[in-house]
Structure 1
Amino acid sequence: MTMFFSSSQGVFRGLCHTSPIIEYSKECGSDRSEIISFSSQEEDSHEFDDYTKSPPAETEPLTSNEKKQPKTTITQLLCILLRALGRVLLASLLFVVSILLICGLKGHSISLDKLVNVTELNLQTNFQIESGKQRLREYEFNITHGLAAPSGVQKKMVLVNGQSPGPLIEANTGDIVRVKVNNHLPDESTAIHWHGIHQRNTTWMDGVTGVSQCGIPPGKTFTYEFHLIDQRGTFWYHAHSKVQYTDGLYGPIVIHDPNELLPPDTTVAAERIIFMGGSFHAYGEDLLKDYLQPSSAWSPSMPGVEPLPDVILINGLAPFTNCNLTSSTWPSSDPPICDPSPLQYTTPMIPSSNTAAAIRLRLINHSSFTSLYFTIDSHPPSPSSRSMASNPILESVHHQGTALLSYPSPSSNTSSLDIRPNPNLNTPQNCTDLPFNLPVPLRAIPAYSVDRTSTTKNTHEITFQFQQAGPVNRIFINRTSWSILPNNAQLWLSLPQSFTGDSTDPGSYNNHDFPLNQQVLLLPDPDKPVQVAINSRDVMEHPFHLHGHTFQIVGWGPGEFAGGSNPNTTWNLENPMRRDTLTIPGLSHVVIRFLADNPGIWALHCHVAWHMEAGMLVTFLERPDDLKHLVHDMDSETRKLSRSFCFTQLGHFLNLFYSFLNLK
């Protein structure tokens, strides 16, 4: 079978404004005007030491009458003109640079055969699946901008080694993965999150900008290293900095286990990775800026008008293209090139040497907003971490699933089938990937028992709602709307503090407060179960993802959680489903539990990219005392490098630059 599938007081005064950096002895335009010294009062004044000049020769002192003379009108006009000229020159420079960047991108369009690595997506890598021998798996990622047309429409993309999806990370359970990330983006920091990987005892490798690290600045390198402890299956990595993954910065992770559970008499003869997800013709950050403005179409009473994808990509390509939907990244006077020809991803599914075969499809939804149904024509596929029921699979945002397709012989299915979006399908309301029966049950684990009498409150209730706040659209969880710390990360902010908790203010610990835009929930008890009830006051569904853990889904129902007294809460405490992401239906609640066995600072957030950037994120500070010891013992060079990123961001440089020019 075949299947198709981004200042002293002289009048000149550093462009006619008081400057803390440059001092002049005379007024603007005077022949006697000379630079006396650099006397910056900035903290990093040492950065200018190389430019300090020796004092000039003494000049004749001014008379008292000269000192009292007011500035002339001509001098004032000259200063105004100079200031305006400076601004015009700066704006012109930025405009020219932007045009050069756009022209440069247009001159280096990436062909689709180089953009998509078919060999890796087909898992034709000759990887050796083995147990009992730990290996170090090393990779190097170069993050760049590039111009490509995965949907037939050229757009600016964020690529890993020139491709999207990015390179495959393949390992065995127990291996160590090391990834060197080089940020070649000219004007954006970045960070890579390893979605679903627990990062046991290595929270600083989780790759969440503003939480576990500051972003990797342009031109800098950071090496991630983590141990795949007791994990196996299909995972993925993606940028966790603004909405960069909407423009292509994502890729697959496959962890093999030779001792995996399979249905009886089943042998996996071939495996394929299938990435599915919405894609935009416009650059993601441009869409984000529009979305966060109150003038955008979004409002609390009108959910569902977030940026909607133009096409659905399957393994990096779109099966069909509408050339009338052009990219807003480029000016309308110079529209991008559009090729309406369908793009097909084709791969042989059954090796001809097998008389009976099972094909494993590793499904990953990389969407920033859309949920997807997955079906195969003429097949009642059988799921395995789901092996598939006859109904379609709903792939929620950022869900990983596995499907096994079994055939009695290769000759019984030799036709070609399309993998494509269903244009007639409406996204259903209140759909969810909550419990269902599996033909091959996971290893049975009862629900964790939560001690409701605990004084340290390892139980939390979280309620979220949409709300407009000031000049931007925001989403609030427990009356807090999260945003990235400008020059710090929660990990480094929490280390100097001593946490015993304040019963009157859950965001305050020993009089040490996180900023108002940070909500940190304390989990101090080691190896104690944690219960979190998530209440949705919004009408649309939201996919929530927890970092650092796989949680149990123990309860769900309409309305808000009421401590177990809500008769509409359905409980499952015998063998609850275990996930790292689940979809919460609108106007309903879900109760999850996990074990506090992984010291760190872990994000819980909506995985709709636009919602997270609008503030839909909280963090758990788990076992802070143990975390301090772990950070103290981590590699000193890694710690030093990671912390240095917090003070070398592009914004800090621009502040110094504008301060020097006095154009603020």
Structure 2
Amino acid sequence: MFLINVVFGFWLLCVPTSLRLVSGVEIVKSHPRDNIWHEKTDHHDQLFIVNKDIAPDGFQRSTVLAGRTPQDASFPGPLIAGRKGDRFTINVTDLLTDPTMDRSTSIHWHGLSQKTTNYADGVAFVSQCPIATNHSFLYDFGVPDQAGTLWYHSHLSVQYGDGLRGPIVIYDPEDPHQDLYDVDDESTIITIADWFHLTSLQLLAALVVPNADATLINGNGRYVGGPDTPLTVINVEHGKRYRFRLIDMSFDAFHGFSIDNHNLTIIEVDGINTLPHTVNFIEIYPAQRYSFVLNANRPISNYRIRALSNTGVGAQNFTNGVNSAILRYVGAPEEEPQTSQPLSSDVMIFREGDLHPLENPGAPGNPYPGGADLVLNFTLGFDAEMVLFSMNGVVFESPTVPVLLQILSGAHHAQDLLPKGGVHTLPPNKVIEINFFGGDAPAGPHPFHLHGHAFDVVRTSDSSEYNFKNPVRRDTTLVAMKNQTTIRFVTDNAGPWFLHCHIDLHLSLGLAVVLAEDTRDTKKDDMIPADWKGLCPIYNSLTPSQLP
């Protein structure tokens, strides 16, 4: 009762008369290979969230999409680009009307640490209330010390499965890998997504593992028995080296990615530069990203780009062009590839532990298991009868009051924060070690993402060995049934941060916790704008007919 009264009083004092209206924008696009970088470092942008009928695989359905105008909304959404040190103000306007899908929304900027701007992290009921339809919210955040390949997506319920996802690239003018490639621009972004003909709410209601109808590469694909829709074509010029930025925006499936007859030299993982590591096959899971260098030194021709889904359409391999796109050399005929995959003996697959950070390698803390200031153990569980996931026996259920608002209203201890058992408080400036035990949680491996941090994976899901010297550093790693994964990070970013499985149905079925970091300094470190304070009263005033 105390928490409710405090929250109510907080809102009476803070609610503005209206939310910020849509304003004019100046869109700044920058790429490191342009001869001149824009000196302006403030990027003012708009995203309109709308319903739109599209047929990316030949099957038309209603979707939830983002666009810089309501008319140009697309899948994937428009690229948001800038450079290290820039600031972004992005006004998100909700114009959703289709009652078969969620009509409110929120946007998470995946991979950005949001230091001192936890309120802009975009997680419904953790860092904000959702944006109600016919309203807007201005996300305002900086990227003072980050660069790399990121993405944005809805973080309300299972909404991003209906299409609300797009790429972010933060370029580094002083990229330590820049001598390895010649081209790095919008044309070298590759997005992978599973695609479904049912809405995400229908998939959630079915309570079964969904089967992807299609794999979309840069928004195009085919489904089994469907028309021969055009496949995405990525053009390269013989003799040039390309930095491709691979983003898995999938809702459920993971993919085996390759490009026929070409090696892929990985130089970045989840926004972290790595020592170059050459492979010809990448197994990529929802929310993970890799930059790789491709040397276009093969005979001028068409080569198949492959992204084989582990569910649904993946059973058809690459028949009739499913699960694929085209790498086309300038001068090659406009036809589909006739190339083949390498023999199994020639496949170069990497383990996650094969990757090592280029800069500042080494996990924080002491170089042995448990050598941290605080050790947390999370065991994944599954209730087959209720079809619910859990962590340490607790099924995460979103609170009605965002965790950040609870903290700002005076709740600083785990026992005072909702949902009960779903929030863990962490002290500031300490080394945290988290042991994930896969337990009996099915439908994995589970790609776990921590908001607000990159972390060192000192024990990967496919190994019993520890690496404290130069473990892979990233923001999304795997947790497998019956196996253990261990990560470490430092609590240098005050606020509540979501830790969850990025298979979106699993998140909605309870596979998540909130790590509330340095709760006493959150109010001081995160200055909340007036627009944020208006989100909850507006959302809470919605009638049942305006939901979902």
TM-score by length of 2: 0.78
Aligned to 1:308: 211
Query: Does the C-alpha gap of structure 1 residues 627 and 496 become closer, same or farther in structure 2, counting only changes over 3 Å?
Result: same
**Structure 1's 425 and 654: CA in aligned 2 closer, same or farther, altered over 3 A?**
closer
2: CA distance between counterparts of 1:134 and 1:651? Answer: 45
Letter of the aligned partner of 1:393 in structure 2?
I
- Select which of 572, 577, 600 maps to 2:467: 572
**Alignment of 1:467 onto 2:383:** yes
Cross-structure match for 2:484: 589
- Compute the displacement of 1:452 (Å): 11
Deviation at 1:570, TM superposition (A): 1.3
Q: Does 1:522 align with 2:409?
A: no
1:128/1:624 Cα in 2 relative to 1: closer, same or farther (>3 Å)? farther
Rate the CA distance shift 1:622–1:189 in 2: closer, same or farther, 3 A: same
- Secondary structure of the 1:574 match is coil
The alpha carbon displacement at 1:216 in A equals: 0.5
For residues 212-237 of structure 1, the C-alpha deviation after alignment (integer angstroms, 9 at most, x for no partner) is 01111111111101101211111000
Aligned partners of 1:203 and 1:600 also within 8 Å: yes
TM-score w.r.t. structure 1 length? 0.65
In the alignment, residue 525 of structure 2 is paired with which amino acid?
A: L
1:198 partner SS: coil
Would you say the 8 A contact 1:603–1:617 is kept in 2?
yes
Distance 1:416 1:433, change over 3 A: same
Secondary structure of the structure 2 residue equivalent to 1:570? coil
| Residue among 530, 537, 541 paired with 1:644 | 537
Alignment partner of 1:627: what SS? helix
In structure 2, which of residues 40, 52, 73 is the aligned counterpart of residue 146 of structure 1? 52
1:630 aligns with 2:525: yes
- Partner secondary structure for residue 492 of structure 1: helix
Mapped contact 2:403–2:417 kept (Cα < 8 A): no
Residue of structure 1 in register with 2:326 after alignment: none
Per-residue deviation, residues 375-422 of structure 1 (Å, max 9, x unmatched): 1111233222265623411111211111111245xxx53212232444
- Please report how far the alpha carbon of residue 594 of structure 1 lies from its aligned counterpart in structure 2 after TM superposition: 0.6
Structure 1 match to 2:303: 417
CA distance in 2 between counterparts of 1:180 and 1:651 reads 26
In structure 2, C-alpha distance between the alignment counterparts of 1:552 and 1:218, rounded to whole Å: 39
Q: Give the secondary structure class of the aligned counterpart of 2:204.
A: helix
Q: Is the 8 A contact 2:257 2:284 kept in 1?
A: yes
* 1:368 paired to 2:251: yes
Q: Deviations over 1:338-386 (max 9, x none)?
A: x612322123212x7xxx4211111011111111111111123322226
Larger radius of gyration: 1
Structure-2 separation of matches of 1:642 and 1:128: 42
Spell out, residue by residue over 1:568-610, the C-alpha distance to the aligned partner (whole angstroms, 9 max, x if none): 8411111221100011222111110111000010000000011
Counterpart of 2:126 (choices 192, 211, 227) is: 211
Counterpart pick for 1:343 among 230, 234, 245? 230
Unaligned runs of 5+ in 2: 1-26, 68-72, 269-273, 309-313, 324-348
Compute the RMSD of aligned alpha carbons.
Answer: 3.2
Which residue in the other structure is 2:111 paired with? 196
In structure 2, how many angstroms separate the alpha carbons of the residues matched to 1:170 and 1:380? Answer: 27
SS at match of 2:65: strand
- Structure 2 residue corresponding to 1:406, chosen from 295, 298, 318: 295
Q: What letter matches 2:353 in structure 1?
A: P
Q: Structure 1 residues 654, 447: closer, same or farther in 2, change over 3 A?
A: closer
Cα distance 1:237–1:498, how it changes in 2: closer, same or farther (>3 A)? closer
**Cross-structure match for 1:496:** 409
Identity, % of aligned positions: 29
Q: 1:129, CA displacement in angstroms? A: 6.5
The equivalent of 2:41 in structure 1 is 135
The range that moved more, 261-270 or 209-218, is 261-270
Q: Is the 8 A contact 1:287 1:307 kept in 2?
A: yes
How many residues are treated as equivalent by the alignment? 468
Letter in 1 for 2:453: H
Shift, 1:528, TM fit: 1.5
- What does the per-residue CA deviation read over 1:245-277, in whole Å, with 9 as the maximum and x for residues that have no partner? 111100010110011121766544665111112
Alpha carbons of structure 1 residues 549 and 269: separation in structure 2 relative to 1, 3 Å: closer
CA 1:437–1:236 in structure 2 vs 1: closer, same or farther (change >3 Å)?
closer
DSSP 3-state at the match of 1:165: coil
Distance 1:569 1:513, change over 3 A: same
In 2, distance between residues paired with 1:645 and 1:347? 44
Higher strand share: 2
After TM superposition, the structure 1 = structure 2 runs for residues 46-445 of structure 1, keeping only pairs within 5 Å, are 130=37, 135-161=41-67, 162-186=73-97, 187=99, 188-262=103-177, 266-268=181-183, 272-291=188-207, 298=208, 306-318=209-221, 320-323=222-225, 340-350=227-237, 356-385=239-268, 387=276, 389-407=278-296, 413-422=299-308, 423=314, 434-437=352-355, 442-445=358-361
Deviations 1:267-310 (A, max 9, x none): 4466511111210011111111222xxxxxx4xxxxxxx11211
Checking the alignment, whether the CA contact within 8 Å between 2:438 and 2:483 is kept in structure 1 is yes
